[in-house]
Amino acid sequence: MISLLDYGAGNVRSLRNAIHALGFSLTEVARPEDILKAERLIFPGVGAFGAAMERLHRLGYVEPLKAYLASGRPYLGICIGLQALFEGSEESPGIAGLGLIPGRIRRFDADALAVPHMGWNGLRLERPSPLFADYAGEPLYFVHSYYAEPSAANAPWRLATTDYGVAFLSAVEQGRVSAVQFHPEKSGAAGLELLRHFLAGEDGASVRDAWTSDPAPTRFTKRIIACLDVRANDAGDLVVTKGDQYDVREQGAVRNLGKPVELARRYYAEGADEIAFLNITGFRDFPLSDQPMLEVLERASEQIFVPLTIGGGIRAFTDANGKHCSALDVAEAYFRSGADKVSIGSEAVYTVERYKASGGIKDGQSAIEQIAAVYGNQAVVISIDPRRVYVDTPEASVHPTVETPTPGPNGERYCWFQCTVKGGREGRDVDVVELARACEDLGAGEILLNSIDRDGTGAGFDLALIASVREAVSIPVIASSGAGCVEHFTEVFNATGVEAALAAGIFHRREVSIQAVKSQLRAHGIETRL
Q: Which residues are catalytic?
A: 79, 183, 185, 229, 385
Number of Cβ within 10 Å of residue 403's Cβ equals 9
CA separation for the pair 10, 265 (Å, rounded): 22
Residue 447, phi then psi, degrees to nearest 5 = -115, 125
Residue type, 63: E
Contact between 187 and 96 (Cβ < 8 Å): no
Torsion-angle region of 206 (φ positive above 0: left; ψ -120 to 50: alpha; else: beta): alpha
Q: Which residues partner with 324 through β-bridges?
A: 318
- Enumerate residues 6+ apart whose C-beta is below 8 A from 188: 138, 141, 305, 306
Q: Which of 262, 175, 187, 259 is nearest to 221 (CA)?
A: 187
Q: Whole-angstrom distance between the N-terminal and C-terminal Cα of the chain?
A: 35
Query: Exposure pattern of 423-433 as b/e (b: 16+ CB <10 Å)?
Result: bbeebbebbbb
- Angle subtended at Cα 341 by Cα 199 and Cα 319, rounded to the nearest 5 degrees: 115
- Give the DSSP letter of residue 93: T
Helix crossing, 432-442 with 367-375: angle to 10°? 40
Bridge partners of 118? 143
Q: Is 333:342 a contact under the CB 8 Å cutoff?
A: no
- Let me know: does 458 contact 484? Beta carbons within 8 Å: yes
> In this structure, is the dihedral angle defined by the CA atoms of residues 507, 509, 513 and 517, taken in order, positive or negative?
negative
State CA 70 to chain mean position distance: 33
Strands, sheet with 75-78, edge to edge from the N-terminal-most edge strand: 27-28, 2-4, 40-43, 75-78, 177-180, 166-174, 158-164, 124-125
Cβ proximity of 400 and 433 under 8 Å: yes
Cis peptide bond N-terminal to 116, omega within 30: yes
